[in-house]
Every structure is written in C-alpha cells, then in structure tokens.
Structure 1
C-alpha cells in the first residue's frame, strides 16, 4: 500500500513487519504507526491490558531500530555523543540512554548493551521506530569514520511482558529465567541465534527478544501455544506504559525538553554530569544547577472523562502547560495523564485544570509511576 504526503508529490511507503500475516490471521486490527502496518488490538484494549498484567502478553516491536556498532575506540566515541557511561558497561548488561542535540534537547531515547565475542562482540542499540533513520544519520554524522554501524533490518524484535513471562519463555528458551532486569545474553532456538534482554515497556517483568525475521513466525507460534501467552496490540502497550510512567518519544519527549526537565536525570550518572564531554552537556549541567523551566509530571484526573495529548493545562486563567499523553488507566480505574508544565506548578499535590472540549477537568500532580513497576531486579524480593 502506498500513501501520499499532503502535497501528493512524494509517495510514502508503509512497510510491513515480518509478522504482518501472522497478526492478520489472528484477527488483529491493523493501523499505520511509525511507518509500518501494526496491530492495535486483537480482543480489545482493556482485555489485552488486563491479560498482560496477570499473565504474559506478546508484543511485536519489530518497527524499532536495532543497530550494531563496532570499531576501535567505540566506547570513547559513543561517550562523546550519548550521556551514558559506555566504558563501564559490562558484557551482558544494558543501559537506558538518550541522543541529545547540541542544545541538549532530546532527539530520541534508547537502550544500549554490550555483546561478547559469541554474540557479535559489539555494542547493540535499540532506538525508536519513528526516528531510527534520523538516529542512524545522526550517529553516522557524529561518529568517526572507522566506526561501523549496521541497521539490522533482517531481525525481528518481540517483547514478552507480564508476571508469567519468565515461566513461559523458559519453556522454549531454557535458562532465560536466570537473567535479571537489564541483563541480556545470547541464546539459541531451533538453530537461530537470539539476543534477549530482561526489560520492556510495560512496567511488568518481561523480555525483549531479537530474532532473525524469517524465524519470527514460528517463534511467535511456539510462544502462543503456551496457555499463559496471548498476542497484544499497540493500544494496550500504550495504556500499560502510561500507567508505568514511561515516556513515549514524539509525545512526552522531543527536542524542546532536556533530560532533567523530562525526569530522566537517572540516565546520567554523577561522573558524566560533572565531567561532561557529551553533546548537550551544557544544558544538563545548567538545569541540574538551576532547575529546568519546564517539567514532565504525572496527573491524576477527577471523574471518568480522559484527557488526551495536546489538551492545555491551567491554573485559573493562566495556561501553565500541555498534556503530552493521556487516557483511561484500566489498572487505576481512572483517567491519568502526563503533562509538561512550568516548574512552579510541578510539585506533587499541585491542583491544576485540564481543558477538554471547552470544559475544565480537575487534576493534581501525582508522582509516577501510577502503577508500581514489577521488574525482576537482582537482590529484589521474589
């Protein structure tokens, strides 16, 4: 299928994922997202949301960009671009980080891990699907010529999320349940090399699995043959990540906000904050010292009417911010939102109003996450 831009001069190709036919055969309603046809729901967003909270949901996130990087001096070269401390990243470990522009605005958020000699002996990076080509161009422009980058478009990426994810995945990939949150390792399944991290985008325990695209259908079939596993669409992925207080690039994150204002200061350790040496450090240092003028906050909304992205936020007659994400939270049983507000109105408990179709909805600033994370952390309670 070809769609056209508004001026109808240049065709915009909508891509298909390796599991496109698999989704359609299971009755998925498909929508365009990040340049691909993707499943928004199968049985309904509420049912799929609840299933993931109680069982194990299988998400197709193959639209994401999977980038491998190799070359001499790679750690130092990456540390000049991203604020993560790459040099201390051990084999089999993963970190959350960011791409920042020269002014310290967020170009994307990403996961970065280190693979050993048996798994590619490289740095493996997962970036957002809607920005992956821009990210690749940015990285190519910033990194030295002797660093090699590969966008692994022959790999699918699946996410298995929920309290029964480890039990289910271990049935077909023995040993995977030994991983803890933000650990990763190479495994094999029917002769196919897998790269699996214990992480995800729902706030639940779970895994992300990079697998050759031509093996993805059989792998998804094997997982969904397990009673606790069902395929889950984008709709529930969004409601789950919102309850978990996890930002979505292009909505809650963009170049207008920096890591400190976005509440992502945890991604920059004390050493990197102090020493800098990465693109965008000046803004980070300034906002650590002085505070960010705009802050990303969570909002609890009174009543049952949800508010959506773009709704203005007020204190009396004064507009003080805008919603960046919002919706009804099934686990909470009420509408919630994320908003970008002036720093003076970002303290928990601050009373605000959201304008929706000419009406004002009462809201208050609430710490995130709205639903506690249930990651399988090393040393955590079982």
Structure 2
C-alpha cells in the first residue's frame, strides 16, 4: 500500500510523524496506521520486551461519563464493579448484549469527577451510540475525538517517561492520574496491551506530535507498529476484539470470568443487573452449559498457525478453530488462541491444526505464553 492514506481512511495526529519515520501504513479500524517501521516487526517486538516502545493508539475511542449517577448507570451495561472502583483506580470491563455476549472490551478509570472510558477503535461508534441510548438520561456521555492516545510500553518505559513527567513513576499497575505537561493536561494510566510495564497517555491532539517526539528523543524509546503490538499482546495472552472475542462469545467461553467481580455475581443488590446476566451468571455457576472455551496453544513444530485454521482431534474430528496465531518472537515457538470444545480444553491436550491440508501438532497450554511484568509496587 502507498505511504499516503486513501480518502476513506482517517488520520491520527501522528500521521506525518509516522511517514517521516518510515512507517509502512495500512488500514486498521478505519484509520491509516503503521504496521511496522524500517527495523521490522521482530526487532520492534524485542525492543519493547527489552527497553521501551512507543505506539500510536489514537484510533481508540475516549469517553467521559459525568454525573453523580454515572457509576451506577454504567453498571447496567457492564458486569464489572464500577461503583466500588476507587478514585484513581482502573478496571477492565465488558460491554454486553442481551444474549450475554460481548459488544466490546474496555478500560474504565474513576477520575473522581468522572469515569474515563477507553474503547476499541473499530467499535467506538457502536459503543458510543449504545451508551448514550442506554444511560444518556442518567449521566452526561462526552465523546473526546480531540484527544490522541499513546502507549509507552516496556521495562524501561518508566525511566524514559519520568524524565519528561516527574511523578509518573509513583503510579502502579491499573491506576491513573492527570499530569501537567507543556501547558496541557495528560491523563496517564499505568497499563497497556503488551504484558510489560508501561503507560497509556491521553493527550490533546494538538500536543500529540510534540509529546511523541519528546518520548522518542529518550534513548530507551523506539517507535513500534501494529504488527509488534499484535505479537506482544498474543504472547501476553490478551484478547483482540473481533478475533478472540465478539458478539458470538460469552465471558465464560472467553475465559474472562475474572473481569466480573464477586459483588456483581452473587447475592446483594448489585449482583446481575447487566444485559445477559442470567446466561452469564448461569455459565459461571455451572447451571448453564459451556460448549467451548478459549485456550492457548503452543506449536510442537515450527509452523505458524493463523486465525481461522481448523483444529482436529486425533481421530480427525473438528473440535475448534484458531482465532489468533503467529510465531512468538520472545517464546520462539508458534503460539495461538483458539476456541475448542470443552472436552478438549484441558492443558496438555494434543490437537492438530490443519495447515494447507497438513496436520500440524499443537498442545493446549496456559496463558500468558510470556510472563507478564506489570509494576504492582
């Protein structure tokens, strides 16, 4: 594809910088974004694991929910504990359908005066419309398209970032705070999508390029594209919406029961009360059967196995399908996520991935494939 965006694609505030840095631009979630830079995917992946990588994730949606009733209202849409989320704390949540399946996965931060919500780029228009229609009468739903979003990820992210913004080193995993920078406001969370320590930084679009250049000027930091973002998140065992979770998957099938806190599951006035709660809580309790489960797979041969690859048992019966897969640069083995029949979901189960008619042996394995290194204090 050419280095310039087609007319239909949206551009982030860092578009000119990506071109200057030699980014190979591709369409993603309606935007023109860099899939890689001249160093290449493997080098970018390894640099993020060893030092610090800077990602442009400005295609993501950023919303604010304002009002005294915002947390209670939002709990009618997601099964996470929002009312009990302390100020400055962040939580992962799921936007649900009435059928108990997943509209989107998102991040929520209690900023005290509002809830700050980050949603996936490809889902943001649907999410915004759903949230406004469902709870817009109970709280103010404010879209923030003027904000850019950067991710600084890796074990040396803190060293680079604290030189520019002193105080960010005090944050721990899944907490957030606002910081002043060059006359503007950054909203920073210590979180990310790589399994490494790091930050996600919401910045006004007018300041995004200046902040990106300041970060890239630090010796630890290099620009990283979508390709390495995908390989990093897969090694970390993190779902990609549209691949590993969607409106056909339930939280229990997706192995995301941990995102539904106890107060929303059992007893008490705040249990249930979200779309599809009867099915979701029934699956968690074991009263509603779960036919398939999301699992990790490690290849026993060095053959990468991609999404939509059929999985068979030893007798040649189809038992599942791969949803994400590649050769993991850190683990140096083929890794994948898949949905398989519940009877074949136990760790150690051998399955065959059918790659161009050839059976490639794989084994169900626990995730993450690479240990997560979040900073918890």
Q: Shorter-normalised TM-score: what interval?
A: over 0.9
**1-side partners of 2:71 and 2:14: how far apart?**
34
| Residue 67 of structure 2 corresponds to residue 68 of structure 1 | no
Residue-by-residue CA offset, 1:4-27 (whole Å, 9 max, x unaligned): xxxxxxxx8210010000000000
Alignment partner, residue 159 of structure 1: 151
Task: State the TM-score, normalizing by the size of structure 1.
Answer: 0.94
Q: How does 1:165-244 map to 2 (within 5 A)?
A: 165-244=157-236
**1-side partners of 2:281 and 2:243: how far apart?**
24
**1-side partners of 2:77 and 2:138: how far apart?**
16
Deviation for aligned residue 1:144: 4.3
- Which of 130, 139, 149 pairs up with 1:138? 130
- Which of 311, 314, 323 pairs up with 2:309? 311
Q: Is the 8 A contact 1:273 1:284 kept in 2?
A: no
Q: Give the match's secondary structure for 1:163.
A: coil
Task: State the TM-score, normalizing by the size of structure 2.
Answer: 0.95
Q: Give the match's secondary structure for 1:142.
A: helix
Alignment partner, residue 340 of structure 1: 339
Q: Is the 8 A contact 1:161 1:206 kept in 2?
A: yes
Task: Name the Cα RMSD after superposition.
Answer: 1.2
Q: Is the 8 A contact 1:55 1:163 kept in 2?
A: yes
Deviation for aligned residue 1:30: 0.4
**1-side partners of 2:129 and 2:276: how far apart?**
18
- Which of 87, 91, 94 pairs up with 2:87? 91
Deviation for aligned residue 1:71: 2.2
| Residue 10 of structure 2 corresponds to residue 18 of structure 1 | no
Q: How does 1:253-268 map to 2 (within 5 A)?
A: 253-268=245-260
Point out where structure 1 has 5 or more consecutive residues left out of the alignment. 4-11
Q: Give the match's secondary structure for 1:24.
A: helix
Alignment partner, residue 44 of structure 2: 48
**2-side partners of 1:199 and 1:189: how far apart?**
20
Point out where structure 2 has 5 or more consecutive residues left out of the alignment. none
Q: How does 1:102-141 map to 2 (within 5 A)?
A: 102-116=98-112, 121-141=113-133
Q: Give the match's secondary structure for 1:13.
A: coil
Query: Which deviates more from structure 2 when the two are superposed, residues 135-144 or residues 330-339?
Result: 135-144
Deviation for aligned residue 1:325: 0.1
Deviation for aligned residue 1:145: 1.4
